[in-house]
Amino acid sequence: MKVVYPREQWCVACNLCEVACMTEHSKTKDPLKAYRTEKPRPVSRTRVEYRPPLAISIMCRHCAEAECVEACKNGSLTRNEVTGRIELDQDKCLGCWMCIMACPYGAIGQVTRPVGQEERRVANKCDLCPDREVPACVSACPNRALVFEDRG
């Protein structure tokens, strides 16, 4: 299946993947409003590690045998048998962080999510942008340091 792979040798640490991810997963899909006015502020699901001269953007790899799915307490994380994608149901998530503990890539983060009147801290991970043909981070990367590929 196609997932996003980082190509470390070309990552220039511009953080635009993070901005694109945050924007794509915002209500307004506008970077300015996503950052300035949306409450709670959306959080990028990819993260740029930066140790000059090295940089790399890392997000969920949608593992065939996903350790996050195996660790999830209540089935909020599941593998979609049709697409192969690892899907997170944020409305169901208990915020127990078992997935964060289990993910060997450190690719699951946290986000505050409004549910009715309350705000819950829930897990947050790459969903490969279901509304887009190519994930936002890949489209935003100016140097092809992120590619959307099927490597078998």
Partner 1 sequence: MKYVIIGNSYAGVFAIEAISRLDAGGAITVISREPYHVYARAAIHEYMDGAIGESRMYYRDKDFYERNRVTAMLGRTVTQILPEQHRVVLDDGQKVDYDRLMIGAGGVPITPPIEGSKGPGMFTFTTWDDAKALRDWVKARKTPKAVVIGGGLIGLQCAEGLKHMGVDVTVVELADYVLVKALDRFAALRVQQWLRDNGLNVVTGNTVASVSRVKGAITGVKLKGGERLKCDTVVLSIGVRPNTGFLEGSGIKVDRGIMVDNSMQTNIRDVFAAGDVTEAEDFLRKRPEVIPIIPVATMQGRIAGSTMAGRKEVYPGGLSQSAFQFFGKSVISIGNVISIDKNGGFEEIISEDGEVYKKAVLRDGMLVGVLSMNFVTRIGIYNSIIRSRMNVSGIKDKLLADNFGFLDLPKEFRDEMLTKPG
Partner 2 sequence: MLYKNPYNNYFDYVVQRDLDKCIRCKACVAQCSYGANFYDADRDVIYSTDANCVGCMRCSTFCPTDCIRIVRNPDTFRPNANWKDNNMKDLYKQAGTGGIIITGMGNDKPYTNYWEHMVIDACQVTNPSIDPLREPMELRTFLGRKPDRIEIDKKGDMTTKLAPQLVLETPIMFSAMSYGSINYNVCESVARAAKELGTYWNTGEGGLPKTLYQYGERTIVQCASGRFGVSPEYLGAGAAIEIKIGQGAKPGIGGHLPGEKVLEGISETRMIPVGTDAISPAPHHDIYSIEDLKQLIYALKEATHYEKPVSVKIAAVHNVAAIASGIARAGADIIAIDGFRGGTGAAPKAIRDNVGIPIEVAIAAVDERLRQEGIRNAVSLVAAGGFRSSSDVIKAIALGADAVYIATSALMSLGCTLCQQCHRGRCAWGITTNDPELAKRVNPEIGAERLVNLIQAWSNEIKEMLGLMGINCIESLKGNRDRLRGVGLSEVELTALGIQQAGM
Q: What residues line the site for partner 2 (CB under 8 A)?
A: 9-16, 18-20, 31-32, 35-36, 50, 52-55, 140, 142-145
Burial class (CB in 10 A: 0-12, 13-18, 19+), 95: middle
**Sign, CA torsion 62/147/83/45:** positive
Q: Which two tokens stand for residue 75?
A: 């089935």
CB of 142 to partner 1, least distance (A): 20
Q: Which two tokens stand for residue 55?
A: 């940089």
Site for partner 1 in 6-65 (CB under 8 A): 6, 8, 47, 49-51, 54-56, 58, 61-65
Phi, psi angles (nearest 5°) of residue 133: -75, -45
CB of 103 to partner 1, least distance (A): 4
- With respect to partner 2, which residue has the nearer C-beta, 18 or 127? 18
- With respect to partner 2, which residue has the nearer C-beta, 10 or 97? 10
CB of 119 to partner 2, least distance (A): 22
Burial class (CB in 10 A: 0-12, 13-18, 19+), 117: exposed
Residue 58: name its binding partner from partner 1, partner 2, none (Cβ under 5 to 8 Å by kind). partner 1
